[in-house]
C-alpha cells in the first residue's frame, strides 16, 4: 500500500511542472492592424487562436481604430495596450470570458496612446470578465460598452484619468442600456459617464455623480 501511495505522489510531482508551464503559456499577440476575425489563426503571432490559458494581446501601435469580431472569446487574459479596438461578438450564442481584462497597463502606453476598448455584444450574450482594470499606467485609457452589452465581473478597477463610458441607445428610445455587474467590489477613481451615440476621440461626456469607490 505504501508503495502504491508513493507511486501516485511521484506521478503528481512529475506532472506538476508540466501543468504549471501549460498554465503560463504566455502572450499571443494580434497581428492585423486592419482588424478581422478573432477565430482566424493567421491573425495571431503564434498562428493559433488564443485559449483559456493564454493572454490575447492587442498592442500593434496601429494608427487607426480597428474592429475584431468573432462568436466566442475564452482566454486567460485580454490585454489592450496602445491600440484603439472594438471587440464585436454579434451572433446568437456569443460568449466573452476572460480571467482578466486590462487596458492601458503596457510599457508601450503613452499619453498619446492610452489604449481604448469598445465591447459590442448582442443583448443575450454571456460575458464574464473576472477582473477588469483600466488605466493602470495613469493615462486616459477607456472602456466603452455598446447599448446591448452586459458584463459580469468580480472586481472593477477604473483608475484615475481613465474612463468607463456607457453608450445609450438612441434608436430604440433607450430600450437597451449597457451594464457592468460587479459582484465582488469596485474601485472607481476615474470618470464614469453615459453618452448617446458612437464615440469619437474629441467627444466629451459628463461624469456620473456618486462615490468614487464602492462595493456592489
* Tally of CA atoms within 13 A in the half-sphere of 122 that contains its CB: 13
Q: How far apart are CA 88 and CA 90, in angstroms?
A: 6
Q: Are 123 and 151 in contact (CB under 8 A)?
A: no
- Look at residue 104 and give its three-state secondary structure: coil
- Residue 31 has a pLDDT of 98
- Residue 9 has a pLDDT of 34
Residue 152: strand pairing partners:
128, 181
Q: What is the pLDDT of residues 151-208, one digit of tens each?
A: 999 999 999 999 999 998 766 445 567 889 999 999 999 999 987 655 544 345 545 5
* Among the listed residues 80, 91, 143, 152, the one whose alpha carbon sits nearest the alpha carbon of residue 113: 80
Residue 186: strand pairing partners:
156, 214
User: Residue holding cell 503613452?
Assistant: 110
- Residue 171 has a pLDDT of 60
Question: Mean pLDDT across the stretch 43-51?
Answer: 97
Q: What is the pLDDT of residues 21-46, one digit of tens each?
A: 334 459 999 999 999 999 999 999 99
Q: What is the pLDDT of residues 183-193, one digit of tens each?
A: 999 999 999 99
Q: What is the pLDDT of residues 55-107, one digit of tens each?
A: 999 999 999 999 999 999 999 999 999 999 999 999 888 999 999 999 999 99
Question: Mean pLDDT across the stretch 124-132?
Answer: 94
Q: Are 129 and 98 in contact (CB under 8 A)?
A: yes
Determine whether 6 is exposed, middle or buried from the number of CB atoms within 10 Å of its CB (0-12, 13-18, 19+): exposed
Q: What is the pLDDT of residues 114-125, one digit of tens each?
A: 999 999 998 888
Give the helix/strand (H/E) hosting 28: strand 27-29
Amino acid at each position: 500500500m505504501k508503495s502504491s501511495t508513493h507511486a501516485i505522489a511521484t506521478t503528481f510531482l512529475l506532472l506538476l511542472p508540466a501543468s504549471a508551464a501549460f498554465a503560463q503559456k504566455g502572450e499571443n499577440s494580434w497581428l492585423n492592424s486592419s482588424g478581422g476575425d478573432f477565430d482566424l489563426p493567421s491573425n495571431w503571432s503564434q498562428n493559433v487562436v488564443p485559449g483559456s490559458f493564454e493572454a490575447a494581446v492587442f498592442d500593434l501601435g496601429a494608427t487607426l481604430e480597428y474592429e475584431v469580431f468573432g462568436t466566442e472569446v475564452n482566454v486567460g487574459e485580454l490585454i489592450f495596450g496602445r491600440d484603439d479596438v472594438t471587440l464585436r461578438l454579434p451572433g446568437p450564442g456569443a460568449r466573452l470570458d476572460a480571467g482578466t481584462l486590462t487596458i492601458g497597463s503596457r510599457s508601450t502606453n503613452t499619453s498619446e496612446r492610452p489604449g481604448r476598448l469598445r465591447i459590442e455584444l448582442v443583448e443575450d450574450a454571456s460575458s464574464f470578465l473576472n477582473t477588469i482594470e483600466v488605466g493602470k499606467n495613469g493615462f486616459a485609457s477607456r472602456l466603452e460598452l455598446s447599448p446591448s452589452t452586459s458584463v459580469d465581473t468580480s472586481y472593477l478597477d477604473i483608475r484615475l484619468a481613465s474612463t468607463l463610458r456607457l453608450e445609450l441607445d438612441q434608436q430604440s428610445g433607450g430600450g437597451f442600456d449597457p451594464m457592468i455587474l460587479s459582484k465582488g467590489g469596485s474601485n472607481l477613481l476615474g470618470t464614469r459617464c453615459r453618452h448617446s451615440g458612437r464615440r469619437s476621440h474629441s467627444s466629451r461626456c459628463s461624469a456620473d455623480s456618486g462615490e468614487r469607490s464602492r462595493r456592489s
